Structure 1
Amino acid sequence: MKPLFKVPLKFGLIGAVINIAMFFVQHWTGSNPLMEMRVFDFFIIPVFIFFGIKEYRDTFNQGLMEFWQGMTVGFFIYGSIAVLYSIFLWIALQFADPDMLQSYITESLNVIKENKDLLTEEMGAESYQSSYDEVSKTTALDLATDSLVKKAGIGFLLTSVLSTVLKKQPKKIRLGR
């Protein structure tokens, strides 16, 4: 397998396993991982993208890297993390612990109810009721898809920045005057 795919798949798999492990840790400590996991996206995804791009550049590409190479490596890293975690999340909520989904819906509806006056003032009564109804109908697939989209969005933005920062091109020799 070429390093352009080998490195990101390694970092993507490890990142997904860590995300899944954090899910279990939060679940076992009594927290609802559905409410808390997004915080870890801002730590796990950037670390794995950074070190994955850096390893590709330094170890397999003689310290050189084009922007597109960094984007490709980063895409496969955050894509792997996002897809694998989302599949895990869907399976966990659909089959392993459906009560967790219901707990998430209940907690979310309580937050909406507690802030009803503020939300109605900002959004209007119809929008508030529409939001309430949508949260009531949340499915495991909805949460898995939401996780996938948010991880991919975070990953894309960070990959763009890190690919630019870590980009190194060969120095051009100028034949002088």
Structure 2
Amino acid sequence: MYRFFSSAYKFGGIAGALSIIAFLTLSFFYPDPTNLNLVFGYVITPVAIFLAIKFFKEYSNTGYLSFAEGMSVGFVAYMLEAIISLVGIWLILLIHPDLFDQVKLSKLSVLANSKESIVAQVGENSFDMTLESIKNMIPWDIALNDALWKIIPGLFFTIIISIILRKNPN
């Protein structure tokens, strides 16, 4: 089993650690590091998945890769990245409640500045529900959102990369 997933563990773990480091680094420069950390996730996730599948194919599977193997390795890589990122960001926000308050205030400010256009597009009820959900937000919500936005694109990238790298024995 380790042979099958060793590259997924390595690259998923590295990507998760880099996501935490990116969140910490961005928090020094921006009051709300969550949006830029999502962009970073869109870059690092496909790279980690590609490397995990490529290394599995070349070094553990003698140059062959079925679609199912690629999907399995990619799944482990992006899920591990998401879980590590989730736990890391959640712990950072618990340890530094002032950072969490900063993020929350930034999101409330963006919502208030965009009220007219949001109400015009989705209505007053949706705006009020969004405002209420941001007011009731806890650190877990931010960490979970980050993890979900690694899982959803991760699945998409895994499908594409598995198809591209697929090579079955003749």
Both proteins in one fold, TM over 0.5 = yes
SS of the counterpart of 1:37? Answer: helix
The residue type paired with residue 67 of structure 1 is: F
Q: CA deviation at 1:80?
A: 0.6
RMSD of the TM alignment (CA)? Answer: 1.3
The structure in which a higher percent of residues are helix is 2
Q: Secondary structure at the match of 2:65?
A: coil
Q: Is the Cα–Cα contact under 8 Å of residues 35 and 104 in structure 1 kept in the other structure?
A: no
CA–CA distance in structure 2, aligned partners of residues 27 and 117 of structure 1:
29
- Structure 2 residue aligned with 1:133: 132
* Correspondence for 1:74: 74
Report the alpha carbon displacement of residue 78 of structure 1 after superposing the two structures with TM. 0.4
Shift of 1:27: 2.2
Percent sequence identity over matched residues?
27
Higher Rg: 1
Structure 1 segment 143-154 matched on structure 2, within 5 A: 143-154=142-153
Matching of residues 43-58 of structure 1 within 5 Å? 43-58=43-58
Match of 1:169? 168
The alpha carbon displacement at 1:31 in A equals 5.1
Q: Name the counterpart of 2:6.
A: 6
User: What amino acid maps onto 2:72 in structure 1?
Assistant: T
| 1:47 positional shift | 0.6
What's the CA shift string for 1:114-153, capped at 9, x where partnerless? 1111111111111111111111111111111111211111
Deviation sequence 1:146-175 (CA, Å, 0-9, x none): 11211111111100110111000112xxxx
Could you tell me the TM-score, scaled by structure 1's length? 0.91
How far did 1:35 drift?
3.0
- 1:10-53 per-residue CA deviation (whole Å, 9 max, x = no partner) reads 11111111111212221233453223200101110111110110
Spell out the pairing of 1:15-94 with structure 2 (5 A cutoff).
Answer: 15-30=15-30, 32-94=32-94
Structure 1 unaligned blocks of 5 or more? 172-177
Matches of 1:54 and 1:140, distance apart in 2: 35
Mapped to 2, the partners of 1:50 and 1:35 lie a distance apart of 24
Instruction: Supply the distance in 1 between the matched residues of 2:68 and 2:19 (Cα, whole angstroms).
Output: 27
What is the number of residues matched between the two proteins?
170
**1:86 partner letter:** L
Task: Return 113-122 or 66-75, whichever deviates more.
Answer: 113-122
In structure 1, what is the Cα distance between the partners aligned to 2:61 and 2:2? 11
Is 1:116 matched with 2:147? Answer: no
Equivalent position amino acid for 2:138 in 1: T
Task: Tell me how far apart the structure 2 counterparts of residues 90 and 139 of structure 1 sit (CA, whole Å).
Answer: 10
How far residue 57 of structure 1 moved from its aligned partner, in angstroms, is: 0.3
Residues 134 and 30 of structure 1: is their aligned pair in 2 closer, same or farther, counting only changes over 3 Å?
closer
